[in-house]
Chain A
Amino acid sequence: AQKITQTQPGMFVQEKEAVTLDCTYDTSDQSYGLFWYKQPSSGEMIFLIYQGSYDEQNATEGRYSLNFQKARKSANLVISASQLGDSAMYFCAMREGSGVQGAQKLVFGQGTRLTINP
């Protein structure tokens, strides 16, 4: 079964608009972490934001926020005031367990290609 599902293969948004990228996950662990990474055409993976399963507040990092709905097992990324430089692939990833020992690996979704139009 897919652990991380990103249902939007591609998204097209006008510059300065807000955009929401969907991510749902599947785990039976109580402790887990959710990450969003951006991959521009250069290929590097750029960390955007992290949400822990026990975090009560939604994570925010500048223009990025994570809409964490634990009961629905969703962790959508919201980018406010989109910019042309936001055009890239976006991956949602999950780490099961606390990451202290043992389970440290990340499982990635299939990604969403975001295109910002001027």
Chain B
Amino acid sequence: GAVVSQHPSRVICKSGTSVKIECRSLDFQATTMFWYRQFPKQSLMLMATSNEGSKATYEQGVEKDKFLINHASLTLSTLTVTSAHPEDSSFYICSARVPTTRGRRQYFGPGTRLTVT
């Protein structure tokens, strides 16, 4: 099946710094990628939809200036958490939609655990 990678898998940063998370589709082209956030013992919440070559679409309540998304190519989307604070600590997961699959399934990356100290 389709493979999506994320880097880094874990990152610890100090409050006030910025962190970039990469999401790559390894064996297919992804015009659309999605970024989710998951707090401990909770469900996934969609943050934004990333479209190649255009601006991302953010969900209500997500600060677009804080969570910068860039989908520069058909295989790479990046999420930058700017001026990170401890409350931004979370598990961030990306996914990519494969239109040719039944249900236009989303394949998920392994996730990035961000800890802000």
Contact = CB atoms under 8 A, between A and B. Distances in A.
B111 A44 contact: yes
Contact of B110 (A35, A44, A91, A100): A44
Given A43-B111, A44-B108, A50 B46 contact: no
Interface in B53-97: 91, 93, 95, 97
Contact of A47 (B43, B49, B91, B107): B107
Interface residues of B, number: 24
Judged by DSSP, the binding face of B is strand
B93 A91 contact: no
B110 A42 contact: yes
Interface residues of A, number: 23
A105 to B, nearest CB: 5
Interface string A33-62: 101010000111111001010000000000
B20 interface: no
Interface of A: 33, 35, 37, 42-47, 50, 52, 91, 95, 99-100, 104-111
24 contacts: A33-B103, A33-B104, A42-B110, A43-B91, A43-B111, A43-B113, A44-B110, A45-B93, A45-B108, A46-B108, A47-B106, A50-B102, A50-B103, A50-B105, A52-B102, A95-B104, A99-B103, A104-B32, A105-B34, A105-B49, A106-B46, A108-B45, A110-B42, A110-B43
